[in-house]
Amino acid sequence: MIRRIAFAGSLIIAVILYLSTTGVARADVSLTTACQDQTPQNGAIMHEYKGIRLGMSRDQVKEVAGKPSDSTDISDDFKLTGEDMMTIHYENNMVKAIQIAFFDIKNVPEWKAVVGDAEVNHSDSGAKHARKVMADENYWVSIWQNKDGSMTRITISR
């Protein structure tokens, strides 16, 4: 229970830091961004993780990922390698968001594989983050990492 509260608290802090340093809200997409070609020049960006995709049903997620380590009416938590964790958020029993928390830097995918050519921003605290909006496909993906790389969070959401 304490681990779940700590995880949720860390996630809230990461989101607040991200939004405060970029000055944009999730729903804000400027005309410039909306009109740009959203396909990264160096390959595709992350749109799924371990076979879990936005829009899947809860039953499909469990077929792919197995039994969750913890579950609520609106989310399932899955343990990954070591301390790493994946939380799937549902809306009407369909995947609305995928959040992955990495605590071992060797398990973190390359940034380009996550957000493609998105600009990487650095905060005063030393953390870095990037976000890519795929307007044509109606989703976004972000990655945040603390200064020493001991915590990395990836979010794929609509």
- Give the pLDDT of the chain (158 residues) as one tens digit per residue: 555 555 555 555 544 444 444 443 333 333 223 333 333 344 579 999 999 999 999 999 999 999 999 999 999 999 999 999 999 999 999 999 999 999 999 999 999 999 999 999 999 999 999 999 999 999 999 999 999 999 999 999 99
Longest Cα–Cα distance in the chain: 44
Pair 4, 70: CB distance under 8 Å: yes
pTM of the model as a whole: 0.73
Residue 101, strand partner residues: 85, 153
Residue 44: per-residue pLDDT: 77
CA dihedral 35, 14, 93, 52 (to 10 degrees): 70
